Structures are given as structure tokens and as C-alpha cells.
Amino acid sequence: MKDGWMQRLRDELAQAWAVMAKDIKVYYLFPGMIMTGLLSPFFMFFSFSVRREMGATQGVARLLAMTIFFTAAAAGPFIIPLERRLGTYDRLLAAPMSLLTLLLGKTAVGAVLSIAISAVSLAIGVVVFGASIAQPWLLAAGVFLGSFSFSALGLIFGSIPTRNPGDVAMPSLLLRWGLLFVSGVFIPLAEMAPVARALAYLSPLTYAQDLMNHAVQGMGLLNPWLDLALLLLMGILFLVPSVKMHQRSRKLGY
């Protein structure tokens, strides 16, 4: 019985891996996407640092948080509606794996992309701007959990019962831009009004930004373990509406 359960778990993990590897090959590994991935951190850094009095370490901490946030959910929300339209999503839904496995595979795609581009951002920060990293292991854990959490957030939009990728573009963008302004990226958490800070605590980006501050600058507002725990918890919670919406899609016929 235990062997059967273990075998099933191994199978499900292998299937999530297969979904992730396929998505990377189909949607990410082409020259335009790779160039965008390599160049976007540069543009992001310059757009938020030009004419501002910002040190290299502070800039790199912000750059990393934003890179994780934007890249983890960049394409994920659009892939599922596109696959629904092409009929390829039925292939995945009909396969012998749980819905959670499928969603984990899809979440992993965005997370891997985010980790890869964060590595580029980090290299730019260290090599070009001479930033140093105060706590490398915290950085690695933060990038990993932040990527997972933001990718799961993006997947909620991908799970909306629709076959039109355009239907998810607007709500996905609105939420991401909204979170950017309330999460302590532009205004440090300590300087926020109490109401704004209460709002900031609802955003996963707040904890990612605080973690990056700890990891790069060696100081943050919250306990870094709390940041890590909340990012993990939010990542898991973000999967719940995706599961619910997929169950609804199965009733509606999407």
C-alpha cells in the first residue's frame, strides 16, 4: 500500500516535471523570449534608478524583487487559455495525473523562468554595479519561494474559465501593477501610513521585497523567517482558487 502511494507520488512529480519541461520548450526557448529575458532586468533597473539617490545594494534588492514579481507571472496566465483554445489543454486534463500535479507543473514553469532571469539580474547587480550580497542563502531561498508564490498568483488568472488569452490580460496586469505600488518597493514599509502598511501586508511582494532587503542589504523590517513562511503559505493558498476555477471549468465545459 505504502509502495503504491510512493509510486504514485513519484509518478505525479515526474508528470509535473514533464509538463514544466514541455512548456519551457514550447513557450520560452526561442530567441525573442530569451533576449527579452536577458534585457528586461537592465531596463527595469534603469527605469527605477535613473536620477534617484539610490545605492547599488538598495537598487539590486529592488531590482531582484521586481524581476521575480514580473517574470514569474509574465506568460503563465496566458498559456492555459491559449492551450484551451488549441485543444492541447484537454491532453493534459485527460492524462492520468491529479489536477494539483498539473497546476504545480504549470507553476514551476513561471518559477523556473523567474529564477533564471533573477540570476541575470543578480549578475548585473554584482558585476556591473558592484553590489555585494549580505546573506546568499537567504537570497536563494527568497528567490525560490518568491518565484513559486508569484507564479502561483499568475496561475489564478490562467485558471479563469476562458479560451481567450485576452480575457486574462487586463485583470492580471491591473493586479500586478496595483501590488507594485502597495508593497514597499517604491516607498519603504517603515515610511508607510498605517492603512497603507496594513494593505501592504496582504501582498506577497511585500515579503519578497523585505527578504531581498535582508539578503542584499543585510537589513529588513520583518523577521526573514516570517517572510519565507508567508511566501510559502501564500504560494500554497494561491493554488486553491486555481483548483476551484478548474473544477468550475470542468462543469462549464472549458
Partner 1 sequence: MNNAIEVDNLTKYYGDLLAVDHISFEVKQGEIFGFLGPNGAGKTTTQRMLTTLLEPTEGRIVINGHDLARDAYPVKRQTGLVPEESNVYAELTAWDNLMFTARLYRVPRAERAERARELLETFGLWEKRDVKVENFSKGMRRRLSIAMAIIHKPSLLFLDEPTPGLDAQSARAIRDLICQLNAEGPALSGAEGTTIFLTTHQIEEANQLCDRVAIINHGRIAAIDTPERLKRAFRRVQSVEVALEPDGRETSRVSETLEVSLAVLPGVTTSVKMGDKWRLYTEDPSALLPQVMDYARSQKLRVVSLSTLGPSLEDVFLEITGQQVGTVRHETNKRQGAGGRRGGRR
Binding site for partner 1 (CB under 8 A): 11, 14-15, 18-19, 22, 25-27, 86-88, 90-98, 247, 250-253
Nearer to partner 1, 93 or 180 (CB): 93
Q: Which is nearer to partner 1, 11 or 132 (CB)?
A: 11
As a whole number of Å, the CA-based R_g of the chain is 19
Beta strands in 12-138 (DSSP E): none
Q: How many residues does the chain have?
A: 254
Residue with smaller CB distance to partner 1, 92 or 215: 92
> Of 162 and 206, which has the nearer Cβ to partner 1?
162
CA 250, chain centre distance (Å): 26
Residue (of 72, 64, 51, 50) closest to 136 by Cα position? 64
Burial tier of 199 (Cβ tally within 10 Å: 0-12, 13-18, 19+): middle
CB atoms within 10 A of CB 241: 16
Nearer to partner 1, 19 or 63 (CB): 19
Q: What residues contact 196, with CB distance under 8 A and at least 6 apart?
A: 182, 187
26 Rama class: left (phi>0) / alpha (psi -120 to 50) / beta? alpha
Q: How many of the other CB atoms lie within 10 Å of CB of 162? A: 18
Contacts with 105 (C-beta within 8 Å, 6 or more apart), sequence order:
15, 16, 17, 18, 19, 20, 23
Q: Which is nearer to partner 1, 94 or 127 (CB)?
A: 94
Closest distance to partner 1 from the beta carbon of 22 (Å): 5
Q: How far is the CB of 161 from partner 1 (least distance, A)?
A: 12
Closest distance between partner 1 and the C-beta of residue 113, in Å? Answer: 16
C-alpha cell at 86: 488549441
Min dist. Cβ of residue 88 to partner 1 (A): 5
φ/ψ (deg, to 5) at 86? -80, -10
